[in-house]
Amino acid sequence: MKKHAIAFTVAAATALLSAQAGAYETGDLILRVGAALVAPDESSSRLDIPALGGKIPGSSASVDDNTQLGLTGTYMLSPNWGLGLLAATPFKHDVSADTGAIGLGSVDAASVKHLPPTLTVQFFPMDSASAFQPYVGAGINYTVFFSESVDSELESVLGNGDIELDDSWGLALEAGVDFDLGNNWVLNAAVWYLDIATEAKFDFDSGVTIKTDVDIDPWVYALTVGYKF
C-alpha cells in the first residue's frame, strides 16, 4: 500500500509540474502555423456601367474561398491578456460578376490577391496553468489588395482591361482555443470575422468603365500547431 501511495504521489507531482510548465505567463510568445481558410460572406452594390445608363438591375459581384498558410502569434501581456496577430501567405480569389439585366449571365471577371494582417487584444479566461486555453479577441484589420488582373472571359466581351481595388480598414473579432500538447507545443483552432469593404473599378480600352462596392466581410478559419517561447 505504501508503494502505491508513493507512486501516486510521484505521478500527481509530475502532472502538477507538467501543468505548471504549460502555464501562460507575462512575456510568453506563442507562434502558430497551419492552414487558414478565407470564406467571404460578401454582398455588393449593382454594377455601375455609365456607358449602359448606370447601375444595372439584378447585377452583382461575388468572391470565392481560398486556403493558404496561416501564421498567428500571441504575446502575453499578462497571464490572462494577450496581443494577437494574424498573418498569412497571400490569399488569391477569383471574382465573378452576375450581369443581371445585361443578359450575359455569370461571367468570370477578375482575380486578385490580398493580405489581411489583423491585430487583436485577446482575453484568456481560464487559469494560466490550464491545459485548455479558450480566448476571445477584438481589434483592427488592414487588407491590402494587389496583383489584380481582369479575366480573359470578360476581356473577350469588353476588350483589354485593368482592375483596381481600394485597400480596407475594419473591425476584427475572433475566438479560439489552445490545447497544451506538452513540451511547450499547442494545438490551436480559431475563427475570425473581418470587416472588409472595397470599391472595385474596371477600366477597358473600349472606353467602358465598371464600378461596384463590395462588402467582403469574410470568416477566417484556422487550424494550426504552435510553440510557446
Least confident span in 7-11, 92-96, 144-148, 204-208: 7-11
Mean pLDDT, rounded, for 183-187: 94
Instruction: Give tens-digit pLDDT for 42-54.
Output: 777 788 888 777 8
The predicted model scores a pTM of: 0.80
> What b/e string do you get for 180-207 counting C-beta neighbours within 10 Å, with b at 16 or more?
beeeeebebebebbbbbbbebbbbbeee
Cα–Cα dist 65/9, whole Å = 52
Domain ranges of the chain: 2-228
What sign for the dihedral angle of Cα 31, 142, 42, 206? negative
Instruction: Give tens-digit pLDDT for 79-98.
Output: 999 999 999 999 998 888 88
Domain 2-228: CATH class, spelled out: mainly beta
- Give the pLDDT band (50/70/90) at residue 22: low
Q: Which three cell numbers stand for residue 161?
A: 482591361
Q: Which three cell numbers stand for residue 76?
A: 502575453
In the predicted structure, residue 30 carries a pLDDT above the cut 90: yes
